[in-house]
Amino acid sequence: MSGQIKASFIRNYALYAAWIVAVIATLGSLYFSEIKEFVPCELCWIQRIFMYPLAIILGIAAFNNEMNMKKYVLPLSIIGGSISFYHYLVQKVPGFAEIKPCVQGVPCNIQYINWFGFVTIPFLALTAFTLISIFMLLLYMSIGKNKG
């Protein structure tokens, strides 16, 4: 693929890919809480606060072909990803578990799932936030190359 074709491909599909990731993450979190009946901790709720609007914002942007959504999407995805990373550290690193960010309700270090010994719910959220950020940065760079 030539550079022009790659930029065109990214411009055409990065926004949709980011939206699909946000929708899957949103539906996944609802599945864990509503169907599997996992009670979200405080950090999980904060991550949801950053993810759920992304599904709506990216959906509107994708269907309206609005390429300039990075100024709204990147702050949400970077902050949400940072919270997910911290939550993952609370679950996996003994020193962080003693900080106890959750003062009431479910403890933040509880691991409802632990697939392959490292994939927990905050890890899934971190992956989604990271993918959304990458897609937005790729979209931004492909638009910049097109202007130049």
Q: Which of 8-12, 116-120, 138-142 has the lowest mean pLDDT?
A: 8-12
The structure tokens listed for 128 are 């989604």
Residues 113 and 6: beta-carbon distance below 8 Å: no
The distance of Cα 38 from the centroid of its chain, to the nearest Å, equals: 19
Residues 133 and 77: beta-carbon distance below 8 Å: yes
Cα 87 to Cα 56, 62, 73, 103: the distances in Å are: 24, 30, 21, 14
Taking the domain 3-147, which CATH number applies? 1.20.1550
In the chain, what are the domain boundaries? 3-147
What span, in angstroms and rounded, lies between the C-alpha atoms of 53 and 68?
16
pLDDT at residue 148, as a whole number: 41
- Count of CB atoms situated within 10 Å of the CB of 139: 25
pLDDT digits (tens, 9 = 90+) for 36-95: 999 999 999 999 999 999 999 999 999 998 888 888 999 999 999 999 999 999 999 888
Q: What is the 3-state secondary structure (H, E, C) of the chain?
A: CCHHHHHHHHHHHHHHHHHHHHHHHHHHHHHHHHHCCCCCCHHHHHHHHHHHHHHHHHHHHHHHCCCCCHHHHHHHHHHHHHHHHHHHHHHHCHHHHCCCCCCCCCCCCCCCCCECCCECHHHHHHHHHHHHHHHHHHHHHHHHHHHC
pLDDT digits (tens, 9 = 90+) for 4-41: 656 677 777 889 999 999 999 999 999 999 999 999 99
pLDDT band, very low/low/confident/very high, at 108 (cuts 50, 70, 90): confident
